[in-house]
Structure 1
């Protein structure tokens, strides 16, 4: 059955929203996976073995899960031994929980996956603020902490982004107007701290900065987009040079911690029809950033000092960061939201989930939990309200896309310690949210990826052409597209390193000799600026219904 490339790719980021937007069948659903994993999931990451790593901070006091016998911690920060775990590994399929050992404080830290699939976690609080931690994706691995070759500068509330060369850039932090690189493989990595005055310029005030956890997105031209408070720059991090100052985002709303909106790089379409020529006669794939929610600059101060909880913002701004003269296109969500998580779905839609309608991030600083997620379709600029959760997810909540297409939701602890009788108690539970495409599976066949060729050991090279084999029930073939999703490190409403590419397809979908089997020809991303080296989830979408992902490694 022939499907022209242009048609497939047009649908690629149009989502399934044209399939009866007004229907009640597209509301999504919730399921409680685990009543308690023992810790509150302030930070969350997915490893290539499909295990979720969740952790909070080590000086919260006792958690609800203990370390194995003999693994109690007696560090220089502790007066007595700590036998409680503050990090866990969770298997979303079996729902088993494995306690992990962290020696130093990870409160409000950052992270990313290296190209080899190892989780790198950076900074934190007190004696953890310069530590770099590593966790390999294996069944019995535990955290390894590097104190000697850690960060140059203390990083608390910093952000990370993996780069085309496989290194990770670590940007900002409280009173840190600099950036640096890890892992340290050269003398300059070990010694040089790069100044970034933009971070000082965007502070609302030293007390309420509104520019912590800056939003970082690797542009398709290889430079780094950095957004803080209500402004953004494009940084050439190799030469420490600001390439572009973007217009101030309209509306007077602060978007970063503690005003805490959220941000995504919208799906990057790798079709040849989406390649443009810039002023230097070089081809460029356009990329757009979407930033939603947040609140007024003084909202945190009002909540902390006067118990006045100002309304969160409804506004979203969309910016083509690769345009010659970019301008913000402003839109409105159907619900006010601060501390919302924005998660890219395999269909190319954006899920906005968690958060509050009033107040800000911070201890006890928010009211009116927003229980309804919202889905946004970039192609038609349209929002839709989805089914509500029964569990409020406020400060220190998280969300992450799983390989089966569900979104894992956890965390929420707006209290100084674990407190189960507060107005908004500490949450140790994990839920799965089933986006609306699960409703479509009752009358549409869910594709199943069967082969990736050549892809030996599921490894792909840049520019490589490969065939993707998939299975469907006979007669259910519709519009096909393929997406590649880079997994994120999620904390404080920002999914660091999250990225979705719509791959270029070649020719028609071919029918295999085996009943229900099809083959589609694809191209791997052409450059590391489009897809930094590492592991990605590969999805095939048929008429708005995504397959389960297979993990591929591109390098």
Structure 2
């Protein structure tokens, strides 16, 4: 494969136009020319290691299995190469991992104790549940009978009680819970007719968008329709959400993406635990895009996005338009509450060889103003089977892309083994605040007061600039604290992605450039399921590096 070079762009704003839109800054850097595999699935762990894996029957990867273990493929071939790796973000070391059951198009969640729970796949992996604990020499543990029914293209969501719900999958209009325990209900499959009702000829409801709502229910979006679902009593709580306008399919293979916008936790919300919740869905393709692409005609992807306040009494879609068409794009919540839309193609559909015209420019979306900004382009197409996640330092790790039936480095869009990082513009906007300490430590309980010590070089007492960001009482302004849940990313959907803007009580100055911010932990596990989160202090639009905290 042709060698790549580090791509570093100027942090200065310049006037380049794409389709009449101004391209602003952003910084791309090659982190690793090859991790040995193509990153179809990606999860950040609380030890700042990233687990990546693809499918086990792609053929020989570029990294060997530990201890030369081998797997016999369905066609009789022997494969001694690894199809999962651990990437150490601190030193870029890559450690091969042993996954033997087929993880093709599977799903995952980070459990409350930091363990990665990963489910489903194809062939001998369709009933499998795999776990990976974050430790120096841990490897995958696989249970080939961890699921009651086969799950291929399903979605996972961590729940307030720490269990994981697995929703749908090809030919599965139902859900179940993992990991299994002694509870009889864990071994039941619960019907979900909504998934069958939204299925069409090409199944544009695979990897359904699932979001835990602040009242503990599950918002499920498939194709163009959505419901609010009580998974405990197995009943639809709300089915009056309007159809998303535009005639565009949003789920696999007409793959768009979805996020639950940041939950803003004020005083009332801290007490009763019910902030408003709004989903944001972008991109996708016409319902017949998959079929026409197979026949050689590549339809334009959608530019449209929609916002829906799912807690409103009479919700209505607020439709907007991105500056670039996009199918197979990933949507990530940044520490500031902005949304990064990255990866994908302008034409076609998800599937082998079915996407054309890669979208190299990320787009930054600001929910408060509904403003879209085109970011600097990567030089590496990230098409089908690419991934993107937020990492601890506020950058975005991007990997994968393999729209081929196997490892192939000669196609127009070859198998991509590299990983790179994108730095949003806030990382070139000046000095970052730095978290010095968290008074409560890294363990939090619900509703608990939190005090965070931090410094900010942008606010010297003697400078006019510093005074601009203090109120009449001399307190620092434009400061917020966010909690971000690390997501499991695959096929353009970041499962379990979640952000809370914490209620801030006050900001106190200790000395020049040194401050304490007092805030409160989320009120209930419906708002923040138990587990690990990255805590950020944001001052004047610039986030600190994240600090891992654990809510239990």
Q: So what's the TM-score if we normalise by structure 1?
A: 0.91
- Look up the match of 1:14: none
Is structure 2 residue 525 aligned with structure 1 residue 528?
yes
Is structure 2 residue 503 aligned with structure 1 residue 504?
yes
- Look up the match of 1:196: 192
Is structure 2 residue 303 aligned with structure 1 residue 303?
no
Is structure 2 residue 461 aligned with structure 1 residue 465?
no
2:274 aligned counterpart, secondary structure? strand
- Once the 2 structures are TM-superposed, how far is the Cα of residue 314 of structure 1 from its aligned partner? 0.4
- Once the 2 structures are TM-superposed, how far is the Cα of residue 26 of structure 1 from its aligned partner? 4.6
Paired with 2:373 and 2:23, the residues of 1 have a C-alpha distance of 12
Question: Where do 1:314-325 residues align within 5 Å?
Answer: 314-325=303-314
Q: Deviations over 1:322-375 (max 9, x none)?
A: 111111110000110000000000000000000000000000001111111000
Paired with 2:15 and 2:277, the residues of 1 have a C-alpha distance of 29
- Look up the match of 1:13: none
Q: Deviations over 1:440-498 (max 9, x none)?
A: 02xxx21111111123xx10000000100112225156511000000000000000000
- Look up the match of 2:470: none
Q: Which of 341, 349, 355 does residue 366 from structure 1 map onto? A: 355
Paired with 1:363 and 1:80, the residues of 2 have a C-alpha distance of 22
Q: CA 1:489 to 1:283, structure 2 compared with 1: closer, same or farther past 3 Å?
A: closer
| Greater Cα offset, 25-34 or 528-537 | 25-34
- Look up the match of 2:440: 454
Q: CA 1:21 to 1:450, structure 2 compared with 1: closer, same or farther past 3 Å?
A: farther
Tell whether the 8 Å contact from 1:117 to 1:137 is kept in structure 2 after alignment: yes
- Look up the match of 1:16: none
- Once the 2 structures are TM-superposed, how far is the Cα of residue 503 of structure 1 from its aligned partner? 0.3
- Look up the match of 1:34: 32
- Once the 2 structures are TM-superposed, how far is the Cα of residue 438 of structure 1 from its aligned partner? 1.1
Tell whether the 8 Å contact from 2:214 to 2:275 is kept in structure 1 after alignment: yes
Paired with 2:160 and 2:14, the residues of 1 have a C-alpha distance of 38
- Once the 2 structures are TM-superposed, how far is the Cα of residue 25 of structure 1 from its aligned partner? 9.4
- Look up the match of 1:327: 316
Query: CA RMSD of the aligned region, Å?
Result: 1.8
Is structure 2 residue 225 aligned with structure 1 residue 225?
no
Q: Deviations over 1:1-37 (max 9, x none)?
A: xxxxxxxxxxxxxxxxxxx999989521111111110
Tell whether the 8 Å contact from 1:26 to 1:439 is kept in structure 2 after alignment: no
Q: Which of 262, 280, 299 does residue 290 from structure 1 map onto? A: 280
Tell whether the 8 Å contact from 2:151 to 2:172 is kept in structure 1 after alignment: yes
Paired with 1:47 and 1:95, the residues of 2 have a C-alpha distance of 15
- Look up the match of 2:208: 214
- Look up the match of 1:181: 177
Paired with 1:255 and 1:492, the residues of 2 have a C-alpha distance of 12
Q: Deviations over 1:98-148 (max 9, x none)?
A: 100001000000000000000010000011001100001111110001124
Paired with 1:186 and 1:453, the residues of 2 have a C-alpha distance of 39
Paired with 2:273 and 2:28, the residues of 1 have a C-alpha distance of 43
Paired with 1:21 and 1:270, the residues of 2 have a C-alpha distance of 37
Size of the alignment, in residue pairs? 519
Paired with 1:192 and 1:392, the residues of 2 have a C-alpha distance of 42
Paired with 1:240 and 1:324, the residues of 2 have a C-alpha distance of 22
- Look up the match of 2:401: 412
Is structure 2 residue 243 aligned with structure 1 residue 248?
yes
- Look up the match of 1:271: 266
Question: Where do 1:5-404 residues align within 5 Å?
Answer: 26-68=24-66, 70-74=67-71, 77=74, 79-148=76-145, 150-205=146-201, 208-245=202-239, 246-272=241-267, 284-304=274-294, 306-404=295-393
- Once the 2 structures are TM-superposed, how far is the Cα of residue 283 of structure 1 from its aligned partner? 6.4
- Once the 2 structures are TM-superposed, how far is the Cα of residue 511 of structure 1 from its aligned partner? 1.6
Q: Which has the higher contact order (CA 8 A, sep 6+)?
A: 1
Paired with 2:136 and 2:438, the residues of 1 have a C-alpha distance of 25
Q: CA 1:320 to 1:22, structure 2 compared with 1: closer, same or farther past 3 Å?
A: farther
- Once the 2 structures are TM-superposed, how far is the Cα of residue 80 of structure 1 from its aligned partner? 4.6
Tell whether the 8 Å contact from 2:531 to 2:550 is kept in structure 1 after alignment: yes
Paired with 1:516 and 1:289, the residues of 2 have a C-alpha distance of 37
- Once the 2 structures are TM-superposed, how far is the Cα of residue 186 of structure 1 from its aligned partner? 3.6
Tell whether the 8 Å contact from 1:152 to 1:190 is kept in structure 2 after alignment: no
Q: Mind listing any 5+ residue stretches in structure 2 that lack a counterpart?
A: 1-12, 17-21, 461-465, 467-475
Tell whether the 8 Å contact from 2:363 to 2:374 is kept in structure 1 after alignment: yes
Q: Deviations over 1:154-185 (max 9, x none)?
A: 00000000000000000000000000001122
- Once the 2 structures are TM-superposed, how far is the Cα of residue 95 of structure 1 from its aligned partner? 1.2
Paired with 1:89 and 1:326, the residues of 2 have a C-alpha distance of 43
Q: Deviations over 1:206-237 (max 9, x none)?
A: xx111000000001111000000010000000
- Look up the match of 2:471: none
- Look up the match of 2:541: 544
- Once the 2 structures are TM-superposed, how far is the Cα of residue 75 of structure 1 from its aligned partner? 5.0
Tell whether the 8 Å contact from 1:67 to 1:85 is kept in structure 2 after alignment: yes
4+ long deviations beyond 6 Å: 20-25, 273-276
1:511 aligned counterpart, secondary structure? strand
Q: Deviations over 1:290-327 (max 9, x none)?
A: 000001000000001x2100000000010001111111
- Once the 2 structures are TM-superposed, how far is the Cα of residue 398 of structure 1 from its aligned partner? 0.4
Q: So what's the TM-score if we normalise by structure 2?
A: 0.91
Paired with 2:23 and 2:330, the residues of 1 have a C-alpha distance of 23
Tell whether the 8 Å contact from 1:214 to 1:256 is kept in structure 2 after alignment: yes
Tell whether the 8 Å contact from 2:57 to 2:73 is kept in structure 1 after alignment: no
Q: Mind listing any 5+ residue stretches in structure 1 that lack a counterpart?
A: 1-19, 277-281
Q: CA 1:520 to 1:104, structure 2 compared with 1: closer, same or farther past 3 Å?
A: same
Tell whether the 8 Å contact from 2:56 to 2:102 is kept in structure 1 after alignment: yes
Paired with 2:133 and 2:49, the residues of 1 have a C-alpha distance of 11
Tell whether the 8 Å contact from 1:63 to 1:418 is kept in structure 2 after alignment: yes
Paired with 1:175 and 1:104, the residues of 2 have a C-alpha distance of 20
- Once the 2 structures are TM-superposed, how far is the Cα of residue 91 of structure 1 from its aligned partner? 1.6
